[in-house]
Amino acid sequence: MRNLIFFMHTSLDGFVAGLNGEMNWIKFDDELFDFVGTMTDKADTALYGRVTYEMMQSYWPTAAEQPNASKHDKEHSAWYSKVSKIVLSKTMNEKGLDNTTIISGQLADNINEIKNQDGKNILIFGSPRASHSLLGQGLIDEFWLFVNPVLLGQGIPLFKNVVETTQLKLIESKTFSCGVIALHYEKNRN
């Protein structure tokens, strides 16, 4: 069975974006990019909400072709181009989309069917609203939280729609020189 893994940057006070979706407070460096690259190597599917998918589609397909493309841009662009993409959306359709599946209903049934297929991990990057929906139905197996050294005071919350207590087990933590701390949790499977 494939794992559905939640990747999310968060402020110390538990927000994933500002009130208007601002993410300019997120800290990145080469060490963090390289680390995320080790995670994408273990995944063959990316899951997004519509807004994040559209943002990703506007950048990653051609990021490696830009004259100032970084090593990370080239690597992630190549990964993004080859992985299957799943988009949670009630307004999009698959027509004209390459290697992309749209899920607009029956979330638990559709996600569990994909999780039961052969393959590598499924990564959720960002996509707070989609993540809230998945979390509300208990579909997320692992959590990678990248805690940034900033307090936002308000914004889009990290967790929402938690319908029951979910016990987690800390698997590992890693501190990056940019001040971000990565926390890796998995759901207790009792």
CATH number where 72 lies: 3.40.430.10
CA separation for the pair 67, 32 (Å, rounded)? 23
**Contact between 143 and 168 (Cβ < 8 Å):** yes
Question: Which residues are paired to 174 by β-bridges?
Answer: 182
In the predicted structure, residue 189 carries a pLDDT above the cut 80 = no
pLDDT band of residue 190 (cuts 50, 70, 90) is low
Q: What is the pLDDT of residue 4?
A: 94
State residue 128's pLDDT score: 80
What distance in Å separates the CA atoms of residue 177 and residue 32, rounded to the nearest whole number?
A: 9
What global pTM score does this model have? 0.89
CB within 8 Å of 66: residues ≥ 6 apart: 73
d(CA 47, CA 131): 9
In this prediction, residue 185 carries a pLDDT of 96
As a whole number of angstroms, the distance between CA 140 and CA 1 comes to 13
The predicted structure's pLDDT at residue 94: 81
| Domain enclosing residue 34, as ranges | 4-187
Mean pLDDT computed over 150-176: 89
Average pLDDT, integer, range 83-95: 90
Taking residues 76-82, what's their average pLDDT? 93
CB 133, CB 108: distance < 8 Å: no
How far is it, in rounded angstroms, from Cα 16 to Cα 10? 5
Q: CB of 117 within 8 A of CB of 141? A: no
Structural domain total, the chain: 1
Which DSSP symbol is given to 82? H
pLDDT computed for residue 135 by the predictor = 87
**Separation between Cα atoms, residue 121 and residue 39, nearest integer Å:** 9
For residues 85-110, average pLDDT: 90
How far apart, in whole angstroms, are the C-alpha atoms of residue 53 and residue 103? 13
Task: Count Cβ atoms within 10 A of the Cβ of residue 100 and give its class: 0-12 exposed, 13-18 middle, 19 or more buried.
Answer: middle
Task: With a cut of 70, say whether residue 156 has pLDDT above it.
Answer: yes
Q: Is the pLDDT reported for residue 85 higher than 90?
A: yes
Convert the pLDDT of each residue in 99-132 to its tens digit: 999 999 999 999 999 999 999 999 998 788 888 8
Please state whether 8 falls in left (phi above 0), alpha (psi between -120 and 50) or beta. beta
Cα separation, 16 vs 19, in Å, equals: 10
